Amino acid sequence: MEPFKIKVVEPIAVTTREQRAAALAEAGFNLFNVPAALVTIDLLTDSGTSAMSDRQWAGIMLGDESYAGSRNYFHLEGVVRRLTTYRHVIPTHQGRVAENLLFTTTVKPGDRVPNNIHFDTTRANVEHNLGVAVDCVVDEGYDPVNEAPFKGNMDIAKLDRLFAEVGRERMPLVMLTVTNNSGGGQPVSLANARATSAWCRQHGIPLFFDACRFAENAYFCKQRDPECAGRSIEEIARAFFALGDGCTMSAKKDGLVNIGGFIATNDDGLAQRLSNMLILIEGFTTYGGLAGRDLEAIALGLEEVLDERYLEHRVGQVRRFGERLRAAGVPIVLPVGGHAVFLDARRFLPHIPQPEFPAQALTCALYLEGGVRGVEIGGLMFGKPDEGTGEWSWPELELVRLAVPRRVYTDAHLDHVVDVCARLLACRATIRGLRIVQRADVLPHFTARLAPLGGLLA
Q: Which residues bind ligand P70 (CB under 6 A)?
A: 44-47, 94-96, 119, 121-122, 177, 181, 210, 212, 250, 252, 261, 375, 403
- CA 265/CA 255 separation, integer angstroms: 18
217 vs 285, which CB is nearer to ligand P70? 217
Closest residue to bound ligand P70 by CB: 95
> Using an 8 Å Cβ cutoff, are 259 and 290 in contact?
yes
Extended strands (E) in 128-287: 132-135, 174-177, 207-210, 246-250, 261-265
274 vs 456, which CB is nearer to ligand P70? 274
Instruction: Kindly state the smallest distance separating residue 339's Cβ from ligand P70, in Å.
Output: 8
Instruction: Kindly state the smallest distance separating residue 92's Cβ from ligand P70, in Å.
Output: 8
Instruction: Kindly state the smallest distance separating residue 429's Cβ from ligand P70, in Å.
Output: 29
> Using an 8 Å Cβ cutoff, are 323 and 247 in contact?
no
CB burial of residue 281 (10 Å; 0-12, 13-18, 19+): middle
Extended strands (E) in 56-155: 88-92, 112-115, 132-135
Q: Residue 335, preceding bond cis, omega within 30 degrees?
A: yes
- CA 280/CA 267 separation, integer angstroms: 20
Instruction: Kindly state the smallest distance separating residue 381's Cβ from ligand P70, in Å.
Output: 8
- CA 255/CA 215 separation, integer angstroms: 9
> Using an 8 Å Cβ cutoff, are 302 and 80 in contact?
yes
- CA 370/CA 20 separation, integer angstroms: 9
Instruction: Kindly state the smallest distance separating residue 213's Cβ from ligand P70, in Å.
Output: 7
- CA 289/CA 175 separation, integer angstroms: 24
255 vs 292, which CB is nearer to ligand P70? 255
Determine the distance from the C-alpha atom of residue 81 to the mean position of all C-alpha atoms in its chain, rounded to a whole number. Answer: 23
Phi-psi bin for 424: left (phi > 0), alpha (psi -120 to 50), beta? alpha
335 vs 405, which CB is nearer to ligand P70? 405
- CA 412/CA 407 separation, integer angstroms: 13
Which of 359, 315, 374 has its CA nearest to residue 42?
374
151 vs 432, which CB is nearer to ligand P70? 151
255 vs 335, which CB is nearer to ligand P70? 255
Instruction: Kindly state the smallest distance separating residue 45's Cβ from ligand P70, in Å.
Output: 3
Instruction: Kindly state the smallest distance separating residue 98's Cβ from ligand P70, in Å.
Output: 8
Instruction: Kindly state the smallest distance separating residue 261's Cβ from ligand P70, in Å.
Output: 5
47 vs 189, which CB is nearer to ligand P70? 47
Instruction: Kindly state the smallest distance separating residue 179's Cβ from ligand P70, in Å.
Output: 8
20 vs 93, which CB is nearer to ligand P70? 93
Cα angle for residues 83, 282, 275 (degrees, 5° grid): 60
236 vs 298, which CB is nearer to ligand P70? 298
